[in-house]
Amino acid sequence: MKIKNIVFDLGGVIIDLDGEESIRRFKEIGITNAGEWLDPYEQKGVFLELENGKIDVATFCNQLRAYSGKDLSFEEIIWAWLGFVVDVPLYKLDYLLKLREKYNVYLLSNTNPIIQEQWARTSKFSEAGRPINDYFDKMYASYEVGITKPNRGIFEYMLGDSGMNPLETLFIDDGVKNIEAGISFGMHTYQPQNGENWIEAVDDIIDLS
Protein backbone atom coordinates (compact mmCIF):
# COMPACT_ATOMS: atom_id res chain seq x y z
CA MET A 1 0.00 0.00 0.00
CA LYS A 2 1.38 3.41 -0.97
CA ILE A 3 2.70 5.61 1.85
CA LYS A 4 0.77 8.86 2.25
CA ASN A 5 1.80 9.89 5.78
CA ILE A 6 5.20 10.18 7.44
CA VAL A 7 5.48 10.52 11.23
CA PHE A 8 8.75 11.67 12.77
CA ASP A 9 10.07 11.52 16.31
CA LEU A 10 11.99 14.63 17.39
CA GLY A 11 14.96 13.81 19.63
CA GLY A 12 17.50 11.48 18.04
CA VAL A 13 15.82 11.83 14.64
CA ILE A 14 15.32 15.51 13.76
CA ILE A 15 17.53 16.73 16.61
CA ASP A 16 20.92 15.23 17.50
CA LEU A 17 20.88 14.49 21.24
CA ASP A 18 23.34 14.38 24.13
CA GLY A 19 21.51 13.16 27.21
CA GLU A 20 24.68 13.11 29.28
CA GLU A 21 25.18 16.84 28.81
CA SER A 22 21.67 17.56 30.06
CA ILE A 23 22.25 15.31 33.08
CA ARG A 24 25.53 17.13 33.76
CA ARG A 25 23.78 20.51 33.63
CA PHE A 26 20.95 19.46 35.92
CA LYS A 27 23.49 18.11 38.40
CA GLU A 28 25.41 21.38 38.16
CA ILE A 29 22.34 23.37 39.22
CA GLY A 30 21.66 21.01 42.13
CA ILE A 31 19.56 18.09 40.82
CA THR A 32 21.99 15.45 42.04
CA ASN A 33 20.01 12.38 40.93
CA ALA A 34 19.19 13.72 37.46
CA GLY A 35 20.76 10.61 35.94
CA GLU A 36 18.01 8.47 37.50
CA TRP A 37 15.23 10.64 36.08
CA LEU A 38 16.44 11.63 32.63
CA ASP A 39 16.25 9.16 29.75
CA PRO A 40 16.62 9.61 25.97
CA TYR A 41 13.26 7.90 25.33
CA GLU A 42 10.97 8.35 28.34
CA GLN A 43 11.69 10.37 31.48
CA LYS A 44 10.99 9.32 35.05
CA GLY A 45 9.71 11.02 38.19
CA VAL A 46 8.91 14.71 38.03
CA PHE A 47 10.47 14.89 34.55
CA LEU A 48 7.96 12.32 33.26
CA GLU A 49 5.10 14.18 34.93
CA LEU A 50 6.09 17.29 32.94
CA GLU A 51 6.30 15.33 29.68
CA ASN A 52 2.95 13.59 30.08
CA GLY A 53 1.18 16.78 31.09
CA LYS A 54 0.43 15.74 34.68
CA ILE A 55 2.07 18.91 36.05
CA ASP A 56 2.63 22.37 34.59
CA VAL A 57 5.89 24.27 34.20
CA ALA A 58 5.50 26.27 37.41
CA THR A 59 4.95 23.11 39.48
CA PHE A 60 7.91 21.39 37.83
CA CYS A 61 10.22 24.32 38.54
CA ASN A 62 9.05 24.58 42.14
CA GLN A 63 9.64 20.86 42.68
CA LEU A 64 13.19 21.21 41.34
CA ARG A 65 13.75 24.17 43.67
CA ALA A 66 12.48 22.17 46.63
CA TYR A 67 14.62 19.17 45.73
CA SER A 68 17.79 21.20 45.21
CA GLY A 69 17.22 23.53 48.15
CA LYS A 70 18.14 26.39 45.81
CA ASP A 71 16.14 29.25 44.33
CA LEU A 72 16.76 28.06 40.78
CA SER A 73 15.95 30.59 38.08
CA PHE A 74 13.80 29.67 35.10
CA GLU A 75 16.79 30.48 32.90
CA GLU A 76 18.93 27.90 34.73
CA ILE A 77 16.26 25.24 34.24
CA ILE A 78 15.91 26.05 30.51
CA TRP A 79 19.70 25.90 30.17
CA ALA A 80 19.77 22.45 31.76
CA TRP A 81 16.99 21.09 29.52
CA LEU A 82 18.68 22.43 26.39
CA GLY A 83 21.77 20.40 27.22
CA PHE A 84 19.98 17.63 25.33
CA VAL A 85 20.29 19.53 22.05
CA VAL A 86 23.53 19.05 20.11
CA ASP A 87 22.41 20.12 16.65
CA VAL A 88 19.33 20.66 14.49
CA PRO A 89 20.67 19.88 11.00
CA LEU A 90 19.17 22.27 8.49
CA TYR A 91 19.36 19.66 5.72
CA LYS A 92 16.85 17.53 7.63
CA LEU A 93 14.48 20.45 8.07
CA ASP A 94 14.73 21.29 4.37
CA TYR A 95 13.93 17.66 3.59
CA LEU A 96 10.79 17.84 5.74
CA LEU A 97 9.58 20.80 3.68
CA LYS A 98 10.25 18.82 0.49
CA LEU A 99 8.31 15.82 1.84
CA ARG A 100 5.33 18.03 2.63
CA GLU A 101 4.91 18.72 -1.07
CA LYS A 102 3.78 15.08 -1.56
CA TYR A 103 3.01 13.64 1.88
CA ASN A 104 1.28 14.47 5.13
CA VAL A 105 4.14 15.02 7.60
CA TYR A 106 3.59 14.77 11.36
CA LEU A 107 5.61 14.96 14.56
CA LEU A 108 5.01 12.48 17.41
CA SER A 109 7.29 13.34 20.31
CA ASN A 110 7.83 12.79 24.01
CA THR A 111 8.66 16.38 24.86
CA ASN A 112 7.84 19.09 27.36
CA PRO A 113 6.51 22.65 27.39
CA ILE A 114 9.85 24.16 28.40
CA ILE A 115 11.70 22.74 25.38
CA GLN A 116 8.79 23.53 23.08
CA GLU A 117 7.66 26.97 24.19
CA GLN A 118 11.03 28.43 25.14
CA TRP A 119 12.95 27.07 22.15
CA ALA A 120 11.43 24.71 19.56
CA ARG A 121 8.33 26.77 18.79
CA THR A 122 10.36 29.96 18.41
CA SER A 123 12.66 31.34 15.73
CA LYS A 124 15.63 30.02 17.75
CA PHE A 125 14.84 26.46 16.63
CA SER A 126 16.42 26.54 13.18
CA GLU A 127 19.23 28.29 11.35
CA ALA A 128 16.54 29.51 8.97
CA GLY A 129 14.83 31.34 11.85
CA ARG A 130 11.71 29.18 11.59
CA PRO A 131 9.91 27.48 14.49
CA ILE A 132 9.40 23.73 14.53
CA ASN A 133 5.72 23.96 13.65
CA ASP A 134 6.67 25.39 10.24
CA TYR A 135 8.00 21.95 9.28
CA PHE A 136 4.98 19.73 10.04
CA ASP A 137 1.35 19.53 9.04
CA LYS A 138 0.53 18.77 12.68
CA MET A 139 2.45 18.00 15.85
CA TYR A 140 1.50 15.55 18.59
CA ALA A 141 3.47 16.42 21.74
CA SER A 142 3.20 14.12 24.75
CA TYR A 143 2.54 16.89 27.25
CA GLU A 144 -0.37 18.19 25.15
CA VAL A 145 -1.88 14.75 24.49
CA GLY A 146 -1.31 13.68 28.10
CA ILE A 147 0.40 10.39 27.20
CA THR A 148 4.01 9.43 26.42
CA LYS A 149 5.31 6.87 23.95
CA PRO A 150 5.44 3.87 23.87
CA ASN A 151 1.94 3.86 25.44
CA ARG A 152 -0.55 2.83 22.77
CA GLY A 153 -2.84 5.67 23.79
CA ILE A 154 -0.74 8.36 22.16
CA PHE A 155 -0.72 6.43 18.87
CA GLU A 156 -4.47 5.90 19.06
CA TYR A 157 -4.98 9.60 19.69
CA MET A 158 -2.82 10.60 16.72
CA LEU A 159 -4.48 8.13 14.36
CA GLY A 160 -7.96 9.15 15.45
CA ASP A 161 -7.27 12.89 15.29
CA SER A 162 -5.46 12.86 11.95
CA GLY A 163 -7.56 10.19 10.24
CA MET A 164 -4.43 8.60 8.82
CA ASN A 165 -4.44 4.94 7.85
CA PRO A 166 -1.55 3.22 9.67
CA LEU A 167 -1.02 0.93 6.67
CA GLU A 168 -0.28 4.06 4.62
CA THR A 169 2.02 5.54 7.27
CA LEU A 170 5.80 5.49 7.76
CA PHE A 171 6.88 5.99 11.39
CA ILE A 172 10.48 7.06 12.08
CA ASP A 173 11.72 6.83 15.68
CA ASP A 174 15.03 5.98 17.36
CA GLY A 175 13.43 4.08 20.27
CA VAL A 176 12.96 0.33 19.86
CA LYS A 177 9.84 0.20 22.08
CA ASN A 178 8.29 3.04 20.12
CA ILE A 179 9.03 1.26 16.85
CA GLU A 180 7.46 -1.92 18.22
CA ALA A 181 4.33 0.07 19.10
CA GLY A 182 4.18 1.49 15.58
CA ILE A 183 4.52 -1.97 14.06
CA SER A 184 1.67 -3.24 16.25
CA PHE A 185 -0.61 -0.73 14.51
CA GLY A 186 0.54 -1.89 11.07
CA MET A 187 2.79 1.07 10.29
CA HIS A 188 5.88 0.92 8.12
CA THR A 189 8.83 1.84 10.36
CA TYR A 190 12.44 2.93 10.30
CA GLN A 191 14.69 3.18 13.37
CA PRO A 192 17.68 5.49 12.79
CA GLN A 193 20.64 5.99 15.10
CA ASN A 194 21.05 9.29 16.94
CA GLY A 195 22.76 11.69 14.52
CA GLU A 196 22.20 9.51 11.46
CA ASN A 197 21.55 11.00 8.04
CA TRP A 198 18.45 8.91 7.32
CA ILE A 199 17.28 10.71 4.18
CA GLU A 200 18.42 8.06 1.70
CA ALA A 201 16.87 5.28 3.80
CA VAL A 202 13.55 7.13 4.00
CA ASP A 203 13.61 7.83 0.26
CA ASP A 204 14.13 4.13 -0.41
CA ILE A 205 11.15 3.16 1.76
CA ILE A 206 8.72 5.64 0.25
CA ASP A 207 9.91 4.93 -3.30
CA LEU A 208 9.19 1.22 -2.82
CA SER A 209 5.71 1.74 -1.38
Active site residues: 9
**How far apart are the C-alpha atoms of 165 and 171, rounded to whole Å?**
12
> Cα–Cα–Cα angle for 118, 114, 41, nearest 5°?
125
Relative orientation angle of helices 199-208 and 90-99, to the nearest 10 degrees: 20
CB atoms under 10 Å from CB of 4, counted, come to 16
Q: Which residues, listed in sequence order, are joined to residue 15 by a DSSP beta bridge?
A: 11
Q: Residue 94: which of 138, 134, 140 has the closest Cα? A: 134
Whole-angstrom Cα distance, residue 123 to residue 139? 17
